[in-house]
Amino acid sequence: MKTFSIAKSRRLRSTPYTSRIEKQGVTAYTTYNHMLLPAAFGSLEDSYHHLKKNVQIWDVAGERQVEVRGKDSAKLVQMMTCRDLSKSKNGRCYYCPIIDDDAGIINDPVVLRLSEDRWWISIADSDVILFAKGLAIGNKFDVKIFEPNVDIMAIQGPKSFGLMEKIFGEKITNLKFFGFDYFDFKGTKHLIARSGWSKQGGYEIYVENTKSGLELYDRLFEIGKEFNVKPGCPNLIERIESGLLSYGNDMDLYDNPYECGFDKYVNLDSDVSFLGKDKLKKIKAEGINRKLMGLIIDANEISMTKSLDVKDENNNVIGELRSACFSPHFNKVIGIAMINKPFYTPSQNVKVDINGNICNGKVCDLPFI
């Protein structure tokens, strides 16, 4: 496939780590929240194998924070998500689909409750800050909304635990999944969560003190030698195999949470009020007409730049493939597709045209592994 260069400018913001990853061999970027997000350090497949066995440091500063603080902050955050946050606790992360009044998905962030009146919404790629500002202004809420100076670096892979323990001590190994706390590095406190956009385990460091964060970045690579550390980035293959959805790729404003399998994050029976609740009740009562499913396709390679039609055996379009890659685990192409009713059942046979080759495949449940 032809490659094209990315034209950099201030508008595609660099991160504090950009100059480092460029020395370390980044080869491709995507953009994420108006920021450069590394997308490859050479071969995706090599990086995938490395991530599953070792530890990687990722520049994911593009996962920007929307900070909401003030008297009405809890009310505003709850208004934006169909997940009941009334029993949420300080020091915990919550995966929260943000939806509009028509139940269309605006973002699928992780929400961090810093305190009862201070929240970080750690966003996927859309300007949630503008939605929050619009709602707050329209409702005359007493809140401050802004993007704080936070640049996340992620430590991912099975050896991340050993590496982080060497730097932060045993205490960090007690952090539970989706918990966060503050940890000291040479006198500077860093908020660290046990989280990250892979299923290989690890941490995300929410760097507010840039100077200390860069020192920590360098230290992680120094200490990391014995753990075979490498620079990396969210890996297309690993995230698809693990069924981690990507906003903008797998779902968008024109999909609702039930279509995306977010049933457990839709709390219709709670008393809390949020946007789109009535619409979600209606969708639940009537049932969905399509659903995000996995596809396993008899093919050896794919490079997607936009959706591909998914057809049944009679060549009727029954859905669209939205993300896909060659999976070393399955030795086939796997992908995430929005499939129409009644075809969204496992084992449904499908056909996909990959570069002029009509390939056979089957629908399956997500996640793949």
Binding site for its own copies (CB under 8 A): 2-14, 18, 22, 26-31, 34, 39-40, 100-101, 106, 125-139, 246-249, 253, 275, 304-307, 322-323
The answer to whether the CB of 37 falls within 8 A of the CB of 12 is no
| Range list of β-strands (E), 7-81 | 28-31, 36-40, 55-59, 65-69
Measured from the CB atom, is 96 or 275 closer to its own copies? 275
Residue number, 34 or 341, with CB nearest to its own copies: 34
* Nearest to its own copies of 149, 345 (CB atom): 149
Min dist. Cβ of residue 343 to its own copies (A): 20
Nearer to its own copies, 159 or 277 (CB): 277
What minimum distance in Å lies between the beta carbon of 182 and its own copies?
27
What own/partner pairs with CB < 8 Å and gap ≥ 24 does 11-14 have?
12/36
Minimum CB–partner distance for residue 107 and its own copies (Å): 9
C-alpha to C-alpha distance for 208 and 233, rounded to whole angstroms: 20
Structure tokens at 85: 């946050």
Amino acid at residue number 302: I
Q: Of the two residues 26 and 193, which places its CB atom closer to its own copies in the complex?
A: 26
| In the complex, minimum distance from the CB of residue 189 to its own copies, in angstroms, rounded to a whole number | 26
CB of 91 to its own copies, least distance (A): 28
Q: How far is the CB of 273 from its own copies (least distance, A)?
A: 13
Place of tokens 């670096």: 153
| Residue pair 155/148 in contact by the 8 Å Cβ criterion | no
Provide the 8-state DSSP code for 176: P
- H/E element, 111: strand 110-115
CA–CA dist 142, 209 (Å, integer): 28
Identity of the residue, 31 or 340, whose beta carbon is nearer to its own copies in the bound complex: 31
